[in-house]
Chain A
Amino acid sequence: MIAVQNLNVRYGDTTVLHGVSLAVAQGESFALVGESGSGKSTILKALAGQVADWQGQMRLAGQDLQPGRKAHLARQVQMVFQDPYGSLHPRRSVDDTLAEPLAIHGIKGRDARVLAMLDAVGLPRRFRFRLPHQLSGGQRQRVAIARALMLEPPVLLLDEPTSALDVSVQAEIMNLLKGLREEKGLTFLLVTHDLPVVSFLCDRLAVLRAGRVEETAEVATLRAAGLQSAYGRELLERSGLV
């Protein structure tokens, strides 16, 4: 579903991705793990068409991607961001937020689709006309997930989707994501620094450091704390999990 070959991204003179390659099968959930500056979010941005200039090959849902933004890409891939306080328009109701992608892409039956999506992400229908400040952090993240799913893309890019949330709410959002993936057969590419989240949500992971893939492993390897690369082991140790 996602194939990245030898991807290079530069911002000015700084190279942030050095020949990154990875492949994610349809329906698979793949994690990118690393610290700030490792380039994990840049990979997501490049796939979402938000990086103007890159070299290499990227295929997504059977199409070759070209540098630059393409409207049709929005039907294939959507992104959920870390901070639900920053990613929703403060003056737009939940209904506006969810209906906008439908209006842009000229999709009919908005009313029914918005209601169905509220149900799917576990938001009571009475929240439909509320503004973001009237919602809790967990509810906002549900809205952000709902917005990402409005165009029914097969691929969801998740950038630290739970790390800005309270511990007890994190579990709710992780359960929701896991359920939606099973129900809709979605493919996930998830960025996180939290190894247990990978263990719960993902099938495979890549360890990134300074723009390079250090290691790709099955989640079973992670669960057994069996990462091979020096940096992978370091992450395990520093998370205090070994």
Chain B
Amino acid sequence: MTLLEVDNLRVTFPSDQGPVEVVRGLSFALGRERLGIVGESGSGKSMTGRAIMGLIGAPGQATADRMAFEGRDLRHLPEREMRKLRGARMSMVLQDPKFSLNPVIRIGDQIAEALEFHTRLSARARRARVLEALEAVRIDDPERVARLYPHEVSGGMGQRVMIAMMVVMEPALMIADEPTSALDVSVRGQVLDIMDDLVRRRGMGLLLISHDLNMVARWCDRILVMYRGQIVEELGAGALHEAQHPYTRGLLASLPRLNEDRATLPVLDRAALDGFMAGGDR
């Protein structure tokens, strides 16, 4: 079943030189799967995530020919309705738990906030749900962690708390914007595992936004490669090395390998790339 359909999404910001389009005609559909969006800074990948959540604030503007979530058109949904969806049916996990958690609210209370806003559960029932959510992200002693403040937990634990906060409402769609970039390699695997588990068991759709080609390739069912606000290529899982577009190929070539024996690394030829983009089929 299609969870999310986006057709011709454009995000524009005004500037001194006139409007700048940072997302330029993006179209894709997401089912109950893991879809990766890869690109470098400025490629528009984060803006895509925000546009879906309805979080492009003025003076920025998001337009689309179609943007449907569970069959509902998001484009003209009033803010009140949007607020009912956000945090309940669709959630977002951001890069750094240090900045996305409120430093002066206990972790348990922060997770309960969404339940308080979206449901009429009793305090006791909310507490049970919070502990359940913490357990779902493999926190062994949820009782203790729920009482802690964000500065008392490590980065990996903080990110798990963020995810617990998202899953407590059992959303249908989770948008994760660089969920692991601020974490150590050893913790990264765990966090990805937990998200994977949620996708499989609860049938969630996941949109994973990242700059890390290899991580996304190992981990998603499909990958969209973005460059300058456009999708330049769509790849299936494990098909990263069949990439055709010169941008994707350039990126892959510029990554050092474990058994590196090249004297210099090839650098992306941006002039040639822009020439290709202008003359290409897109």
Q: Decide: B264 and A175 in contact? CB cutoff 8 A.
A: yes
Residue from A137, A168, A179, A196 within 8 A of B256 (CB atoms):
A196
With contact pairs A36-B155, A36-B184, A200-B265 given, residues A168 and B250 touching in the complex (Cβ less than 8 Å): yes
How far apart are A137's CB and chain B's nearest CB, in angstroms?
A: 8
Residue from A171, A197, A225, A235 within 8 A of B267 (CB atoms):
A171
With contact pairs A196-B260, A199-B256 given, residues A235 and B185 touching in the complex (Cβ less than 8 Å): yes
A171 to B262, CA, bound (A): 12
Q: Decide: A234 and B251 in contact? CB cutoff 8 A.
A: no
Q: Produce 1/0 per residue, B238-272, CB < 8 A to A.
A: 00000000000011001111111111111110000
Q: Decide: B185 and A225 in contact? CB cutoff 8 A.
A: no
Q: Decide: A223 and B260 in contact? CB cutoff 8 A.
A: yes
How far apart are A21's CB and chain B's nearest CB, in angstroms?
A: 25
Residue from A178, A238, A241 within 8 A of B264 (CB atoms):
A178
B218 proximal to A (CB < 8 A): yes
A197 to B213, CA, bound (A): 16
Residue from B186, B215, B257 within 8 A of A199 (CB atoms):
B257
Q: Decide: A35 and B184 in contact? CB cutoff 8 A.
A: yes
How far apart are A114's CB and chain B's nearest CB, in angstroms?
A: 25
Majority DSSP secondary structure for residues of A touching B: helix
Residue from A172, A238, A241 within 8 A of B186 (CB atoms):
A238
How far apart are A111's CB and chain B's nearest CB, in angstroms?
A: 30
Residue from A36, A167, A195 within 8 A of B258 (CB atoms):
A195
Residue of A nearest to B254 (CB): A171
Contact partners of B185 in chain A: CB under 8 A: 35, 193, 235, 238-239
How far apart are A241's CB and chain B's nearest CB, in angstroms?
A: 5
How far apart are B271's CB and chain A's nearest CB, in angstroms?
A: 13
Contact partners of A166 in chain B: CB under 8 A: 40-41, 211
Contact partners of A222 in chain B: CB under 8 A: 258
Specify which of A137, A172, A234 lies most central, judged by the most chain B CB atoms within 10 Å of its CB: A172
A170 proximal to B (CB < 8 A): yes
With contact pairs A168-B267, A239-B185 given, residues A223 and B258 touching in the complex (Cβ less than 8 Å): yes
Size bin of chain B's contact surface: 20 to 34
Q: Decide: A223 and B251 in contact? CB cutoff 8 A.
A: no
A224 proximal to B (CB < 8 A): yes
Contact partners of B119 in chain A: CB under 8 A: none
Contact partners of B189 in chain A: CB under 8 A: 238
Q: Decide: B254 and A200 in contact? CB cutoff 8 A.
A: no
With contact pairs A36-B184, A166-B41, A238-B189 given, residues A171 and B266 touching in the complex (Cβ less than 8 Å): yes
Segment 227-242 of A: residues with Cβ below 8 Å from B: 234-236, 238-241
Q: Decide: B211 and A167 in contact? CB cutoff 8 A.
A: yes
A239 to B180, CA, bound (A): 13
Q: Produce 1/0 per residue, A191-230, CB < 8 A to B.
A: 0010111011000000000000000000000111100000
Q: Decide: B254 and A199 in contact? CB cutoff 8 A.
A: no
Q: Besides the contacts A223-B261, A225-B259, A239-B258, what 13 more A-B pairs have beta carbons closer than 8 Å?
A: A166-B211, A167-B213, A168-B40, A168-B251, A171-B255, A171-B256, A171-B267, A175-B267, A196-B258, A222-B258, A224-B259, A234-B186, A238-B186
Could you write out 28 A-B pairs with CB less than 8 Å apart? A167-B40, A167-B211, A167-B251, A168-B250, A168-B251, A168-B254, A168-B267, A171-B254, A171-B255, A174-B265, A175-B265, A178-B263, A179-B264, A193-B185, A195-B258, A196-B258, A196-B260, A197-B256, A199-B257, A199-B258, A199-B260, A200-B262, A223-B258, A223-B259, A223-B260, A225-B258, A235-B185, A238-B189
